[in-house]
Chains A and B, each alone.
Chain A
Amino acid sequence: MNLPLLRLSARRAAPAVALVGVAGVTLLAIAGQPGRAEIVEVSPKFEEVIVSGAELASSTAWIAGLVVASAFTVLFAARIPDRWFRQEGDWLGTSGTSRSSIVRSCLAGTLAGAATLPVIIGLIAGSMGQARESGPASRGQLLELAMLAGPSRSFVLMPGERFEQALPEHDLPPDARVRVRVAPALGAEGPTTKALVKSASQSSELRVARRAWLEVEAPEGGGVIAVTNTGSGALAVLGPAPVEVWRPSSAWGSGHLRLAAHAALHLAFLAALAFGLGAWMGPGIAASLALALWLGARMALASTGLADALPGGAALSAAIGAIAEGRSPLLVRPPLALAASAAVLAGFTLARTSLGTWRRESRSS
């Protein structure tokens, strides 16, 4: 690995225009966030609504920043190998370093450059999380998902009906929470209803007028969570896996660091593909094809068990969703890292095999 070449490629993969562009879009996306000073004087219930709005702005910033970062990443990554065939091969090709080493260094630099973009988004969007933790709206412990449970499909509870889900034995701290995803449904007297959610240690009754979570403390050591439709309308329990158990999290930066890791894997996946394709075709076509391949894979895998294993797929969506709720995303799981590594290997192989010569056949001068 050649460090000066790696540094040059990193700089080219994330040039100033990309850094400023991503930062600008992220800042624009959070510009409408409600100010903290306004919510000090209002009731705690209203405050909760405002907090949700702020966290939503944080996740919107992530989405906007990542869309722009993805576009910049594929374009600039595809341009790096293209330069080899636009004369830079004249000095790279006569250097004493092997072609594999040159490709490795350039690809590593490209990945490093791409990884700086989610750091920027995380720093900007994460500052909102910090503000939430230190501000008057702090809701205490940061949570992360510990377990999913429940049936694989949705079903409806008519008035008086009850749903129970046994939670397997687990070792959760006392601050753990359990929640059930519900929504009002047609089929009974009223358009809205009430629901009683109960665990071994806590119960709570809420009016359900829209899609919502019914949340209580998790029963220690396992047990049963029960939801009873106590209103006059129908209540849908929304599957798949409508029951979620959340445990306290020690994630840094309100979970933004974990989301940055998910985003970095996503951008690494795109950058590696664009880099490999850019060694075979023009940068514009290579960038478009890399995005199309990722989107195609995402659509193809959406309804399969592999949806979580695609960088930038369901796991990234879930991570952004967690940030939107003021919770921490899960750590990156091995299948995701494995898929990103496979893309990096594919990018390397594509680029290396293109280097029979440092000239494109159609360029003769």
Chain B
Amino acid sequence: MTSPAPPSQFAVEARGLGRVFRGGLGWRPRTALCGVDLTIRGGETLGIVGPNGSGKSTLLRLLSGVDRPSTGWVEVLGHPPTARAVRRRLAFLPDGSPFPPELSARRVLDLIASLGGMARPERRHRIGEMLERVGLSGAGEAPIRTYSRGMHRRFGLAQAFLHDPEVVLLDEPTAGLDAPGFAVLADLLGAARGRGATVVLASHVASDLIEHCDRLALLVGGEVQRVGTPDELLGDPEVLQLRIRGLSEVGASTLEQQVEQLGAHLMESGPAHRSLQELYTARESDDGRSGAR
């Protein structure tokens, strides 16, 4: 008697994953992914970075079960991603805006939530809450086709996190987002990680992902070139980065001299830039003060 296979220790596991697209008449087949091996532990956040056309979106579609691999296999939560039980626990934010443009955000969220099996009273409650959370409560009744690119992305995030998924796949989640939008994304990701969700983020801008990811996978030409922590992949052990608050000009000069005395070379110094989010926050508080006067 054979014992059943032990459940996978990974939330997402892909082995030998490949995708070849058949060409049209007169076109050669195109290999989008080739022999990708990937494992993601439960509760981990993995960033997939790579240049345009490297296969990030194709990989996410295979992981989400929207597309079928030409070679290899993928399992999410121990099952194929097309299994109904998995789909109710998985969320996918595709690139672009594929949602019905003629409907309002509230109606599309209602549609998606109903397809996910959410009961009507819960839908009403969750949709209002999620629109508020992503900053679209004022535009919830407007047709999606009237949205800006950043609003589309916020809406995409809302639909992805609507039902508290256990596995979240986000393709270019920061594309078109403004600074408050980044804060929305950080808030949603923080909450997802807080409840132990597994997150996969794909972007061609690595700096957008670093702060959120436990590990990064570098995808080039449809192949995973390297996998490691952000420090392992992007860190330079030869260079130390310091951010110092409250140092006077004299102090800075002294620090520079001491660095030189230690045999090191100060590559760059100068006032640090505030983030756009900090700038917006400062502006809002300034406006609040002048309004109060």
Decide if B100 touches A96 in the complex (CB within 8 Å): no
Chain A residue with the shortest CB-CB distance to B169: A94
Task: Give B112 Cβ to nearest chain A Cβ, in Å.
Answer: 6
Decide if B61 touches A359 in the complex (CB within 8 Å): yes
Decide if B116 touches A95 in the complex (CB within 8 Å): yes
B193-239 interface (Cβ within 8 A of A): none
Report if A253 contacts B (CB, 8 A): no
- B115: contacting residue among A92, A358, A362, CB under 8 A: A92
- A94: contacting residue among B30, B90, B100, CB under 8 A: B90
Contact mask A348-364 → B, CB, 8 Å, 1/0? Answer: 00000000111101111
Contact mask B56-73 → A, CB, 8 Å, 1/0? Answer: 011001001111100000
Interface hub of B27, B112, B115 (most chain A Cβ within 10 A): B115
Task: Give A322 Cβ to nearest chain B Cβ, in Å.
Answer: 39
CA distance A356 to B82 in the complex (A): 10
Contact mask B81-123 → A, CB, 8 Å, 1/0? Answer: 0001001101110101011101100010011101111000000
Which 4 residue pairs of A and B lie closest in terms of their CB atoms, listed nearest first? Answer: A87-B98, A95-B115, A90-B94, A96-B88
Decide if A93 touches B65 in the complex (CB within 8 Å): yes
Decide if A359 touches B66 in the complex (CB within 8 Å): yes
Decide if A96 touches B21 in the complex (CB within 8 Å): no
Decide if A94 touches B66 in the complex (CB within 8 Å): yes
- B159: contacting residue among A5, A11, A91, A364, CB under 8 A: A91
- A91: contacting residue among B32, B92, B107, B117, CB under 8 A: B92
A96-B116, A96-B117 given as contacts; is B67 within 8 A of A91 (CB)? no
Report if B288 contacts A (CB, 8 A): no
Chain A residue with the shortest CB-CB distance to B123: A4
Decide if A3 touches B98 in the complex (CB within 8 Å): no
Q: Which residues of B contact A94 (CB under 8 A)?
A: 64-66, 87, 90-92
- B111: contacting residue among A5, A98, A357, A362, CB under 8 A: A5
Contact mask B11-25 → A, CB, 8 Å, 1/0? Answer: 000000000011110
Decide if A95 touches B67 in the complex (CB within 8 Å): no
State the B residues within 8 Å of A (CB): 21-24, 27, 30, 32, 57-58, 61, 64-68, 84, 87-88, 90-92, 94, 96, 98-100, 102-103, 107, 110-112, 114-117, 159
Decide if B57 touches A365 in the complex (CB within 8 Å): yes
- A96: contacting residue among B58, B64, B94, B115, CB under 8 A: B115
A87-B98, A94-B64 given as contacts; is B30 within 8 A of A364 (CB)? yes
- B87: contacting residue among A95, A363, A365, CB under 8 A: A95
Decide if B21 touches A88 in the complex (CB within 8 Å): no
- A93: contacting residue among B24, B66, B88, B103, CB under 8 A: B66
- B98: contacting residue among A4, A91, A97, A361, CB under 8 A: A91
Q: Which residues of B contact A102 (CB under 8 A)?
A: 115
Chain B residue with the shortest CB-CB distance to A87: B98
CA distance A92 to B98 in the complex (A): 10
CA distance A86 to B96 in the complex (A): 11
CA distance A89 to B99 in the complex (A): 10
Known: A4-B111, A12-B102, A361-B22. 20 other contacts (CB 8 A): A4-B107, A4-B110, A87-B98, A88-B99, A90-B94, A91-B98, A91-B112, A91-B159, A94-B87, A95-B87, A96-B117, A102-B115, A356-B68, A357-B66, A357-B67, A358-B67, A359-B67, A362-B22, A362-B27, A365-B57
Instruction: List 24 interface pairs A-B (beta carbons < 8 Å), by A numbering.
Output: A4-B111, A5-B111, A11-B102, A88-B98, A88-B100, A90-B66, A91-B99, A92-B115, A93-B64, A93-B66, A94-B66, A94-B87, A94-B90, A95-B87, A96-B84, A96-B87, A96-B88, A97-B116, A356-B68, A357-B67, A359-B66, A359-B67, A362-B22, A364-B30
CA distance A192 to B273 in the complex (A): 103
